[in-house]
Amino acid sequence: MMIRRLSTHAAAALVLAASLHSTTAGAAPGHRFKLDRGLQDRAGRSGRSRVLVELRPDADPASVVTRARGLRGAHLKSFDAHVVDVDNANLDALAADPAVLSVHEDRELVAQTAPSARLSATVLAVGGPRNGLDGTGVGVAVIDSGVSRHDDLTFLRGAGPSRLRVTDAVDFVNNGARTYDDYGHGTHVAGIIAGNGFDSAGQYRGVAPGASIVSLKVLDEQGHGTISAAIAAIDYAIANKVRKNIRVINLSVGASVTESFDTDPFTVAAKRAVDAGIVVVAAAGNFGRSADGTQVYGGITAPGNAPWVLTVGAYDAHGTPSTSDDEMAPFSSKGPTAVDFRAKPDVVAPGIRITSLAAQGSTLVVNYPNSVVSGVGPRGAGAYLTLSGTSMAAPAVTGVVALMLQANPTLTPNAVKALIQYTAFEEPGVTALAQGAGEVNADGAVRLASFFVTAKPGDAYPSDPAWSGNLIWGNYLVSGGVPRPDATAWASNIVWGSNIVWGSNIVWGSNIVWGSNIVWGSNIVWGSSLAQDGGFAPGVGPVEALGTR
């Protein structure tokens, strides 16, 4: 197995560091290092900030908040932090409190999508049920703007829909537990994952139409939210994993990257979910080009910047099942990741002009009537909506994961990612920083997942010359061998991309070879900002952001 190093050129690293991140050099007072980058800039100024405060285990949260003259909100279990509203003038005092370990901005969270003017059938290149698999029994947590009632999200009985497959719904924006979507994004995402195509005679069917959806609303009617709401939703998914058999979380949302994935509350919460055995799939972001159309690097959003997350970029399938006309979506964010400089995304999936479910009366439906599509029959009028973005690519992969886990429920999150990467279709001439291991291949991933159910040394290993045969492990492109089902790399305690002993237990019948370096140099253009703009590419209108030509 050959391993090629994807490494940063020193000059490029300096350019990105200078453009995206300030340092704490010269920061004062001395405890300000406990504040993240954004809060260091705000400390001592006018206004207030909503923050996440990590405390020492023996600390009394109420006393800490009182000393900082703040207002305490929810406790976030997966990061073990408290949401606090505090005056910026008191941020230094909060950081100086010996009971405080770290303070992080409750960053803005946005949907990673934009409406499109042209239509295409949903994820044709990914496909739907195969070999009798449709995701039945697999619970998928959709952390988004909610999920509305729709015929395509029901169990079909006889000639029509019956009970809703949204088995649970929690509203972290307006509080409560009901099924609704006032923005329209989460319903669209849920349809790509699990729509059964009832209102379109199967034309706009999702990838895993038997899967159950758990709707966790974190975005408001304008598609905006906070990372604290997303973390609370992750907490809920972990707590209810067994009750609802939640095996996958879909995050077609993103936040700016302001610190390492090792310390960011959002990415740490995602790791807790992965540690609990839940596959976390996240959109890479729509920051792959600048306002003038220049392709840029370094735009992966959180939590997709974390190595334990399965990060999905977008490509244009041109509405055909053939891969011959595929090309990368120009808006799709490319690696390396900000701060940590890791190779991302992991794979790409169809993300341009994807038609899926419409939430009637939602903001997206009202604001973009030309993107509304009707199905067939009396119930199909205005039932669908066409959108583009990495928001649409991520749920395509989530649906594939649901199929894999139905075929083989024992797969760990690490193993799921490995099989998806290994069986992907590599797009010729496209850097791994744009496509990861390649285009997701549902048939191959499910085939290999099924093989792993009973695989033992000596069995004929599934193969296909079209598969990439690659794994991206940290900044290494690993090739030349095959994933072994019982290899240590897939254990739940292994961080994807961390340093492990690569012995013969990682492959069958192949020795590891260290190959030539793959270097991203100083001649590429780095993004100057990861500031969010409603999910559109920075400074670009909704049509241009779609990759329309």
> Which amino acids are annotated catalytic?
144, 185, 391
Cα dihedral 190/194/200/203 (nearest 10): 110
Q: What is the 3-class SS of 431-463, one letter each residue?
A: CHHHHCCCECCHHHHHHHHHHCCCCCCCCCCCC
Amino acid at 132: G
Cβ–Cβ under 8 Å, residues 146 and 181 = yes
Paired with 316 in beta bridges are 327
Give the Cα separation of 269 and 376 in Å (integer).
Answer: 42
Question: Residue 494: CB partners within 8 Å, gap ≥ 6?
Answer: 414, 488, 500
Maximum pairwise Cα distance, the chain:
70
Paired with 2 in beta bridges are 479, 513
Question: Residue 96: CB partners within 8 Å, gap ≥ 6?
Answer: 29, 31
DSSP 113: -
Q: What is the 3-class SS of 85-102, one letter each residue?
A: EEEHHHHHHHHHCCCEEE
Question: Residue 30: CB partners within 8 Å, gap ≥ 6?
Answer: none
